[in-house]
Chains A and B, each alone.
Chain A
Amino acid sequence: MRLIQGLLVLALLVVGAVLVRSTADARHQAVRRILLVLLGLLAVTSVLVPQAVTWVAEALGVGRGTDLVLYGLVVAFLGFIASSYRRTRALEGKVAELTRRLALDEEAREAGAAAHRNVTTDGTAAPEETPTRAERPGA
Chain B
Amino acid sequence: MVGASGTGAPGDTWVVVPLYQEATAVGDVVRELRRSFPQVVCVDDGSTDGSADQARRAGARVVRHCINLGQGAALQTGFDFALRDASTRFVVTFDADGQHRVEDAHAMVERLRDGEADVVFGSRFLDDRTEVPRVRRVVLRSAVRYTNLTTGVRLTDAHNGLRALSREAVGALRITHHRMAHASEIVSLVGRSGLSWVEHPVEIRYTDYSRAKGQSLLNSVNILVETILG
Contacts and interface: CB of A to CB of B under 8 A. Distances in A.
B69 A104 contact: no
B64 A139 contact: no
A74 B53 CA distance: 50
A103 B84 contact: no
B176 A93 contact: yes
Interface string B148-180: 000000000000000000000000000010100
A99 B178 contact: no
A76 to B, nearest CB: 19
Given A104-B84, A107-B61, A107-B62, A95 B56 contact: no
B76 A99 contact: no
Q: How large is the interface on B (under 10, 10 to 19, 20 to 34, 35 or more residues)?
A: 20 to 34
A interface, over-half SS: helix
Contact of A111 (B53, B61, B67, B69): B61
A125 B64 CA distance: 14
Contacts of A95: 67, 69
Interface residues of A, number: 20
B229 A99 contact: no
B77 interface: yes
Given A95-B69, A125-B56, A107 B81 contact: yes
A104 B178 contact: no
A103 B178 contact: no
A136 B66 contact: yes
B133 interface: no
Contact of B178 (A20, A96, A129, A136): A96
A96 B56 contact: no
Most chain A beta-carbon neighbours within 10 Å: one of B61, B62, B64:
B64
Contact of B77 (A103, A111, A125): A103
A77 interface: no
Given A93-B176, A107-B81, A100 B66 contact: no
Interface in A78-133: 85, 92-93, 95-96, 99-100, 102-104, 106-108, 111, 125, 129
B76 A103 contact: no
Interface string B44-75: 00000000010011000111111101000100
A19 interface: yes
Nearest to A22: B230
Nearest to A92: B178
A100 B176 CA distance: 13
Contacts of A96: 69, 73, 76, 178
A103 B66 contact: yes
B66 A102 contact: yes
Interface of B: 43, 53, 56-57, 61-67, 69, 73, 76-77, 80-81, 84, 176, 178, 229-230
23 contacts: A85-B229, A92-B69, A92-B178, A95-B69, A96-B76, A99-B65, A99-B66, A99-B67, A99-B69, A103-B63, A103-B64, A104-B63, A104-B77, A104-B80, A104-B84, A106-B64, A107-B63, A107-B64, A108-B84, A111-B61, A125-B56, A125-B57, A139-B66
Sort A-B residue pairs by CB-CB distance and give the 4 closest, nearest first: A107-B63, A100-B77, A96-B73, A103-B63
Given A85-B229, A103-B64, A104-B81, 5 more contacts: A99-B69, A99-B73, A100-B73, A100-B76, A104-B63
